[in-house]
């Protein structure tokens, strides 16, 4: 199973070892604000992933703002894995009130290192009273959906790979994607280039919905992880309709 290059998606942060995360000091509570240790979020996710029948085969962690902001990614496997993509978790936490503790689940394509977080499974919990009580249950509920999501993603990607589309259809989807705010108009030329002449030869074999999907995600690669669920969900909505994915 080829490893996904998780390190490529932590731009703007410093990639660190897990031991460094464990040493980050958590600020004291202040009023209703109750920050949690970055390591506590990681440990909670790791334990729940294992109970869900998956295992983490690769992980990456990064810090920003002198440790006040944490971002992490985990590649998952469970014995029923495709050769060219896998499930990926994205995690984040903050100690400066910039964003809540969060988790998203998506897929990663090995050959191009593209990530797509569909937003079908995500949690976000503000650092307020009872976060320590509520967060484990939120993680448990999210991870309980992993098996269904993996099956659905397998079916979706298989449908994308098997659906041939014409240049005219691709053009129509591009316009719909622009209307749906999947990406700004300035990014359209990049998608068109990837559609016409994919930089990865694996996508050059036939003009399929899978080829177009990866043209979009290649162009979205440099966007922040937690900005991607809305865009990816809209893109899936367009391509699922074309490919008759329920």
Q: Same domain for 109 and 198?
A: no
**pLDDT digits 0-9 by tens, 8-26:** 566 677 889 999 999 999 9
C-alpha distances in Å from residue 105, one per residue of 137, 226, 229: 16, 10, 9
Q: How many domains in the chain? A: 2
> Where residue 118 falls among pLDDT bands split at 50, 70, 90?
low
Q: Same domain for 204 and 102?
A: no
The backbone torsions φ and ψ at residue 26, rounded to the nearest 5 degrees and listed phi first, read -90, 130
Could you say which of 145, 165, 185 is where a domain stops?
Answer: 145
Q: What is the pTM of this model?
A: 0.81
Q: Same domain for 18 and 130?
A: yes
Could you say which of 145, 172, 197 is where a domain stops?
Answer: 145
Q: Same domain for 51 and 136?
A: yes
- Predicted confidence (pLDDT) at residue 239 exceeds the cutoff of 80: yes
Could you say which of 85, 114, 145 is where a domain stops?
Answer: 145
Residue 138 in any domain: the answer is yes
> For residue 93, which of 48, 121, 131, 120 has the smallest C-alpha distance?
131
C-alpha to C-alpha distance for 215 and 101, rounded to whole angstroms: 31
Q: Same domain for 219 and 117?
A: no
Q: Same domain for 140 and 18?
A: yes
- Predicted confidence (pLDDT) at residue 179 exceeds the cutoff of 80: yes
pLDDT > 90 fraction of the chain, expressed in percent and rounded: 46
Q: Same domain for 120 and 223?
A: no
Taking residues 159-186, what's their average pLDDT?
95
Domain that holds residue 43: 6-145
Two tokens, residue 222 = 């440099």
Contact (CB, 8 A) for 140 and 120: no
Residue 66 in any domain: the answer is yes
Beta bridge partners of 43: none
Residue 84 in any domain: the answer is yes
**pLDDT digits 0-9 by tens, 54-74:** 889 888 898 999 999 999 888
Q: Maximum CA pair distance of the chain?
A: 59
> For residue 12, which of 70, 95, 75 has the smallest C-alpha distance?
70
């Amino acid at each position: 199973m080829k490893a996904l290059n998780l390190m490529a998606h932590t731009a703007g942060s410093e990639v660190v070892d897990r031991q460094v995360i464990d040493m980050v000091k958590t600020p004291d509570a202040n009023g209703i604000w109750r920050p949690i240790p970055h390591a506590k979020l990681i440990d909670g996710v790791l334990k729940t992933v294992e109970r869900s029948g998956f295992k983490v085969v690769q992980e990456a962690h990064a810090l920003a703002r002198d440790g006040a902001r944490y971002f992490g990614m985990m590649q998952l496997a469970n014995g029923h894995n495709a050769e060219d993509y896998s499930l990926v978790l994205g995690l984040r936490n903050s100690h400066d009130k910039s964003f809540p503790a969060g988790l998203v689940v998506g897929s990663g394509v090995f050959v191009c290192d593209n990530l797509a977080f569909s937003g079908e499974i995500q949690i976000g919990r503000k650092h307020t009273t009872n976060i320590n009580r509520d967060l484990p249950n939120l993680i448990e509920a999210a991870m309980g959906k992993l098996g269904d999501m993996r099956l659905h993603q397998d079916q979706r990607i298989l449908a994308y790979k098997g659906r041939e589309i014409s240049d005219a259809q691709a053009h129509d989807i591009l316009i719909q994607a622009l209307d749906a705010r999947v990406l700004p108009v300035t990014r359209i030329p990049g998608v068109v280039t990837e559609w016409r002449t994919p930089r990865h030869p694996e996508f050059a074999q036939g003009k399929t919905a899978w080829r177009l999907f990866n043209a979009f995600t290649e162009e979205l690669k440099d966007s922040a992880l937690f900005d991607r669920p809305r865009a990816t969900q809209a893109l899936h909505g367009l391509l699922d309709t074309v490919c008759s994915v329920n």
